[in-house]
Structure 1
Amino acid sequence: MRILSLSPVAALSVLAGVVSATRPCPDPLAPFTWTMSEWTYDAPDPTGRGRAAIDSTVGLYLVVGGVDFSCIGSWPETWEGRADDGRSLIWFSCVVNRGRQVDTTVSFAMDWRAEKLYTAHTYVCTDGARQGSPIIATGSANLDLECERSTPGGRPTRCITRSRQLTITTQPKLAAINTCVAESTGSASWEVSGYISALGPGSRAPPGSTFHVLNLADGTKFDCAASEAIQEDGTMQGHCTPVGGAAGNSTTLTFSFDREVRLITLSQAQACPGSGSPITTRGAGYVPAFPCLSNFSPTCEEEAVFWVGGQAEQA
């Protein structure tokens, strides 16, 4: 299996500096051209131990403006790149290999069944009327894969793209005036920061997890906390409160966390004028673990900001 790697020290320095990353913002906002290379897929290893015997793994490199990112994602093979609800794509964070990062987050998701790669990056404007505004830019590309199989017609054991390089264009967009306008387009976008995780039953640490969420659709900020301790099966539920009551009583944000696969799922319901029922958006993301590689204490604070993308659910 080919593994993209970053040393714990490098990972710490990269992720700790991400929050202050900024970009100039021309008017109108211009798209970005990314180059993807070295995309590979490896199926679970039936002779392996732990997650290696269960998870499929995708690795790739992304390059934009001379900045080189390593991206790795893994999921239980039967999930095919989506959360266990079968709907939400799982978003994974990328880390800098080379260059100065000017994005707050860089992420990717893989729809394995459709053989389609999605990319996203968030950043803050440094100039003009948009100074200080958070921006989300997204793009996608269909992959032409060449796969090895252990049996004819069986599941792939290893895949690569026929073309070793692929161009992906990401289109930036500003936050909408309100979440109803943004979510009516069918997409959702959250930045998660200050993630503090704790061990489950038997730990003396505070139960569950706490973190902050910024809804990039409308700029609403939330403080999130577990409503229960991590259960024996490694799962946990929680809710989020709008900071300063910014969203009033019109929106609710809840989350679930699966510690075994480090998967967080966000679900936001927004009551919108003229709508008979709330618009609900749901998204899933992998919680990065780089800052915790050298921290074996029961409580671990993630210094990274990571992004979770989602879609509106059909009523």
Structure 2
Amino acid sequence: MRNKLQVDAARPCSSSDGAGFEYPLGDVRYDGPDPSKEDGLATFAASLRSSFGTPLYECVLQWPEAWAGWYEGGSRLIWGECIFTGAGSGLDNTVSSAFDWNSTTMYLAHTFTCSDAEGLEGLAIGSIELNLNCTTTDEGSSYCVPESTSSGTRPELNIATTSIPSNPGNATSPCADTSGQYWSWSVEDWFRKYKMEPGATPTDPNAIHADTGPWFTLRSWRTGNTFDCSPSAPHDGIFVGPCSSSRNETTTTTASFVFNSRLNTLLISERWTCDDGSSSSEASGILFMQAACNREFNSDDFTCTSGPVWLGTEGV
């Protein structure tokens, strides 16, 4: 299982809300759909560097071009994991990014162990508006990279993040007065199996067979609730499933998911009813789910796993 957690991954949380952090950006690139393919997918990729300039995390997002970074072109940002490269010491437990093509704004969120508060985690979110220069090739494809400086060099870009109110590990009623808190989740212990013949690619909808769909644990940063999620049958590349309380306890909060195996998008929804029955509501987030899929020895069976991945709602 891929796991980004580092034994020294910690940041101070004593200043709590409002603490600031910064990541230097390395290579940044947006690619439009490949004209030789029919999937119409656009890709955004960015590298986060350490203070020494080495690539520390690689962020990749992909969605249908018309969505422009928003789920079905709506009001929910599509978040994706930034994978730890191992080329240094990470200070974060998870790192995720999102990209709004309409405003060319990159969002970054990272969670970290509090070095000064045992058992607690912090959350910081930030954004940067990118000035992109786009080119169309003779083959009809297009790509965009940050515009060069007046001297023709790559600009120095840094994305700053700020700690925001969060409530990891401590369940709080969604009906409480916590308007300053941010809705987000952690997808953990991801597991999926399928069969694929040699030479085929997982982007081919006809290449994958006997797909179990995803099984995972969902942890709500807002309420502290944890859920066990698994798909319901039948499916046609779209897996829908309920999430039951991991503690087998009665709760007014429920969760569910929809996983599109063709686009690798995971829609998470958490719903709640106030204890007095006065109102009910829902929060949801979208994740472009990357997972390490390994072929079993001398077999057509693939097993996909992943460490914790954070996803949120809108940018902050």
- TM-score scaled by length of structure 2: 0.79
- Given that 1:183 and 1:279 are in contact with CA atoms closer than 8 Å, whether structure 2 keeps it comes out as no
Give a deviation string over 1:176-232, Cα, whole Å, max 9, x none: 362525874473211111111133999667x43210011112322111111224x22
Q: Distance in 1 between matches of 2:131 and 2:233?
A: 44
- Given that 1:252 and 1:269 are in contact with CA atoms closer than 8 Å, whether structure 2 keeps it comes out as yes
Q: Distance in 2 between matches of 1:21 and 1:43?
A: 38
- Distance change (3 Å), C-alpha of 1:20 and 1:191: farther
Give a deviation string over 1:89-112, Cα, whole Å, max 9, x none: 111111223212231111100011
**Distance apart, 1:59 and its partner CA:** 1.4
From 240, 243, 251, give the equivalent of 1:240: 243
- Distance change (3 Å), C-alpha of 1:224 and 1:50: same
Q: Which runs of 5+ in 2 are unaligned?
A: 149-154, 196-205
Matched, 1:175 2:166: yes
Q: Distance in 2 between matches of 1:275 and 1:140?
A: 38
Q: Distance in 1 between matches of 2:313 and 2:147?
A: 29
Q: Superposed, which structure 2 residues align to 1:82-121 within 5 Å?
A: 82-84=70-72, 86-97=74-85, 98-121=87-110
Q: How many residues align?
A: 286
Give a deviation string over 1:85-144, Cα, whole Å, max 9, x none: 622211111122321223111110001112211101112224x3x212122211111222
Matched, 1:160 2:145: yes
- Distance change (3 Å), C-alpha of 1:308 and 1:139: same
Moved more, 277-286 or 299-308: 299-308
**Distance apart, 1:21 and its partner CA:** 6.1
Q: Distance in 2 between matches of 1:124 and 1:267?
A: 25
Question: Secondary structure, in 3 states, of the residue corresponding to 1:70?
Answer: strand
- Given that 2:164 and 2:181 are in contact with CA atoms closer than 8 Å, whether structure 1 keeps it comes out as no
Hey, which of these two has a bigger chunk of helix by percent?
A: 1
- Distance change (3 Å), C-alpha of 1:21 and 1:150: same
- TM-score scaled by length of structure 1: 0.79
Corresponding residue for residue 198 of structure 2: none
Question: Secondary structure, in 3 states, of the residue corresponding to 2:247?
Answer: helix
Q: Distance in 2 between matches of 1:136 and 1:156?
A: 37
The percentage of aligned residue pairs carrying the same residue is 25
CA RMSD in angstroms comes to: 3.1
Q: Which runs of 5+ in 1 are unaligned?
A: 1-11
